[in-house]
């Protein structure tokens, strides 16, 4: 079951709740009965497999041929 984070708009309390994805979102705070909003938190993404490396970065040198000016 996913963990959802909520923040109360009235008392600013933050709490986590284990809920099924089919359960409706909470609407009231347990402490003060104020309205709550769901906090969207970033998730860590880690690419695995061929073609994804931690040290991959764009190279400073280009692979295309450089243009030279001929002064003839």
Residue 57 placed within a domain:
no
Q: Are the C-beta atoms of 3 and 16 separated by less than 8 Å?
A: yes
**pLDDT tens-digit series, residues 2-17:** 889 999 999 999 999 9
**What pLDDT score does 18 carry?**
92
Residue 8 placed within a domain:
yes
**What pLDDT score does 43 carry?**
77
Q: How many domains does the chain have?
A: 1
**pLDDT tens-digit series, residues 21-69:** 899 999 999 899 999 999 988 877 777 767 656 665 655 555 555 555 5
Task: Provide the domain limits for residue 24.
Answer: 3-39
Q: How far apart are CA 55 and CA 3, in angstroms?
A: 32
Residue 17 placed within a domain:
yes
**What pLDDT score does 23 carry?**
92
Residue 23 placed within a domain:
yes
């Amino acid at each position: 079951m996913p963990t959802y984070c909520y923040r109360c708009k009235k008392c600013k309390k933050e709490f986590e709740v284990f809920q099924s994805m089919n359960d409706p979102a909470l609407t009231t705070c347990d402490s003060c009965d104020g309205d709550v909003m769901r906090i969207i938190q970033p998730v860590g993404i880690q690419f695995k497999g061929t073609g994804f490396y931690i040290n991959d970065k764009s190279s400073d040198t280009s692979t295309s041929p450089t243009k030279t000016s001929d002064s003839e």
